[in-house]
Structure 1
Amino acid sequence: MLYRKMEKTGDELSVLGFGCMRLPTKGMGIDEERAIRQIRYAVDHGVNYLDTALLYPGSEQLLGRALADGYREKVKLATKLPHMLVTSREDMDRMLDLQLRTLKTDHIDYYLIHSLSSGEGWRKMKNLGVAEFLDTAKADGRIVNAGFSSHCGIEAFKGIVDGYGWDFCQIQYNYLDEMNQAGTEGLMYAASKGLGVVIMEPLRGGYLARDPPAEVQAVWDEADVKRTPAEWGLRWVWNHPEVTVVLSGMNDEQHIEENIRIAGEAHPNSLTEKELEIVGRAAEAYRSLNRVGCTGCRYCMPCPAGVNIPGCFEAYNTESGTLQSKVMYQLRIGGKMDGAEPAYASLCRDCGKCVKVCPQHLPIPEHLSKVAKDYESIGVRLIGSVTEYALRLMRWNTMRKV
């Protein structure tokens, strides 16, 4: 296992972190015996960074049990404060104290404000006193390091980075998302400010680890060294020295073994120029299969009508319209995650401003019309509303426990 240092903390963290959102299931819940065995196997083989969240059903409870028998002392534990459930400064302390009890620990090593999808969520948390909460929790030892996870665009991301004395951050990053969300610019910006950077979705939720389309496989076949799609994806992320930890939502023993092997070999700047060129062409092959050829460059923004154009196309291209991508569209683009104004594709007024500046010369209003038809149907909106209600129910249940 290779390790990299978290600059502000000095911690030597395993380059491979265990993401505990997609634990193995049994029936309607987590397969506890198997999940605990997997987590302990990973720790025994060098993984020392474990990531969970209050919003991951059953995950904190399972991790509290998995880290018994001396395993808590072997790892750095990360969990998250769900800002979308917070309505007061007192909520923050109550939720943190509940998490400490659930995880059966007296401190959280890496504590994040969860999933800031726009600047609105961060502004809300600042107004509620999150800076004072984090300062107090660090001073009394309940948390050691403060960070945030983010799915927002680059400008909002920079504002969050500059808004508090963070120790680290967590962003989505892979070879298809160099210009989406925070992207490469965000990675470099956070690192330049001294923040450690934890990467989520290095394989886009497993999309980049599956058997690739023939067009993509033809590119991989040109490489001198033969690797699985998952190994190409992980090595590309680890090739960036600015990356501290890469999270993998591992729930299969074979995948855990493969990832641990790769994590023992993937040094920064170890990919050759030819290999980087091959990864770039594989990314282009994937994009050529997208329903919209958007690169996420954001030249089209801001939209006069308030449409999050690259965000709409990112969701539209994700897994060719799966239910999960449609739900996330409703939550993020609809502003349900952080109280932001809706930025739906259907808001487009066909003014044509975006078309004039698009480097890809895309008929953006035409594509937005298709997004709205597919992602804003009555059924999808209903699912989004049900998910929003579930978040409120979760808040009620959480506050009931505290």
Structure 2
Amino acid sequence: MLYRKMPKNGDELSILGFGAMRLPVKEDGTIDEERATNQIRDAIDNGVNYVDTAWPYHMGQSEPFLRRALSDGYREKVKLATKLPTWMVDSREDMDKFLNAQLEKLNTDHIDYYLIHSLAGELWEKVESLGVIDFLEKAKADGRIINAGFSFHGAPDEFKPIVDAYEWDFCQIQYNFLDEKLQAGTEGLEYAASKDLGVIIMEPLRGGLLAGEVPTSIEDIWNEGSTKRTAAEWALRWVWNHPEVTVVLSGMNEEAHVEENLRIADEANSDSLTENELKLIERVENKYRELMKAGCTGCSYCMPCPVGVDIPACFEMYNNLYLFDNDDMTKLMYAARLGGITGAEPGFASLCVQCNKCIEKCPQHLEIPTLLESVVEDFEGPGLEQRIEMAKMFLANKDA
């Protein structure tokens, strides 16, 4: 296992972290505890020392599960990360309530790496006004939190102000070779590193969409590489190639995933990909964009929309629907991200009034209103309300 150092505290963290959001489940949807425990302990026995969870994962059962999985001395072998569910916070007192409940759920007296979950501009302004900085300072002072960070899911221009708003120890961003300009992107990665923040990467495989089955035309490009690698290995190595990255989280739920990821994490040094390999990955990226229904780069120049449409998110979901064979999950994610469930206002494509202001701003010259009509057709027909309710059940599990 390779390790990288957290800039501010010197912690030597495994470059591979275990994400506890997509654990193996039984037919009834509950966590398969025997398999998941074996997977996590196997990863730790082979050098993984960073485990990440959050309040809503597995309908609130991820944290209690980890309490059991990390017993028998395993808690002492890892740095444990979990997150404040910001969309459920209505007061300064709520912050302590959630943290104390998480300490009890996880059977620990401290969280090594505590994140303010899923920040974007609006949500950051909300929790900042409620006193989140005071909360972090006091929780660090009394030892309940060792390192304070945040995870980010906002627009590119919202990232730097959050980084600059507090003396964070680390941050967590979505990053993969398709998302160099989405959310924080490469610019955000480099900015956070320049401020000596450790950077934890989520979605290096876009929730598994860059691994496993890939479009045939893309598989053909991968096969041209002089070194034969799986799609997952190419994608992971691309992220680890960036020296600014500290830890890459993988939501491993198959024994083969654990084995493969451990193998790659033994070898994936930064700046290790050759110029030809980087060009190959760039060709794959270009092919993905060719296959996509909307040629959106996620630059967000079209934002804010006057009526509240989250245009980049709509197009991200629209592309995913056609790139990958995962219709049910993609439609559920559309409902969750755009339904106003996490605190922001709803951003559905159907809100568009065709004012055409976005067309003037789009550097890709996309016919955005016309594309949004296609998004509505694919995502907002029968079943949308049921998917919204399912997403609410996933996120708003206060009593779990």
Q: What secondary structure is seen at the aligned counterpart in 1 of 2:213?
A: coil
Comparing 61-70 and 136-145, the one that deviates more: 61-70
How much has 1:328 moved relative to structure 2?
2.7
Aligned counterpart, 2:66:
63
Comparing 6-15 and 379-388, the one that deviates more: 379-388
2:332 aligned with 1:327, yes or no?
A: yes
Distance 1:234 1:319 in 2: 23
Structure 2 residue identity aligned to 1:388: K
How much has 1:343 moved relative to structure 2?
2.6
Distance 2:392 2:260 in 1: 37
Map residues 37-48 of structure 1 onto 2, 5 A cutoff. Answer: 37-48=38-49
Deviation sequence 1:301-353 (CA, Å, 0-9, x none)? 33333322212101211243723333333333333212x23332223232333
2:14 aligned with 1:14, yes or no?
A: yes
Structure 1 residue identity aligned to 2:94: D
Map residues 2-401 of structure 1 onto 2, 5 A cutoff. Answer: 2-28=2-28, 29-57=30-58, 58-116=61-119, 118-320=120-322, 322-338=327-343, 340-377=344-381, 379-388=383-392, 391-392=395-396, 394-395=397-398, 397=399
Comparing 235-244 and 373-382, the one that deviates more: 373-382
Equivalent pairs: percent with the same residue? Answer: 62
How much has 1:119 moved relative to structure 2?
1.3
Kindly indicate whether the alpha-carbon contact (under 8 Å) linking 1:207 and 1:319 is maintained by their aligned counterparts in 2: no
Q: Give the TM-score normalised by the residue count of structure 2.
A: 0.94
How much has 1:115 moved relative to structure 2?
1.5
- Tell me how many residue pairs correspond in the alignment: 394
**Structure 1 alignment gaps of length 5 or more:** none
Alignment CA distance shift 1:163-1:334 (3 Å): farther
Kindly indicate whether the alpha-carbon contact (under 8 Å) linking 1:180 and 1:314 is maintained by their aligned counterparts in 2: no
Alignment CA distance shift 1:98-1:302 (3 Å): closer
Structure 2 residue identity aligned to 1:162: D
Alignment CA distance shift 1:211-1:332 (3 Å): closer
Deviation sequence 1:116-168 (CA, Å, 0-9, x none)? 2x311111111211111111110000110011111111112222212221111
Distance 2:335 2:183 in 1: 17
Structure 2 residue identity aligned to 1:296: G
Distance 2:195 2:128 in 1: 20
Superposed CA RMSD:
1.7
Structure 2 residue identity aligned to 1:111: Y
Distance 1:26 1:120 in 2: 37
Comparing 157-166 and 245-254, the one that deviates more: 157-166
Deviation sequence 1:210-264 (CA, Å, 0-9, x none)? 1221210121122111100000000000001111000000111111111011001
Alignment CA distance shift 1:391-1:40 (3 Å): closer
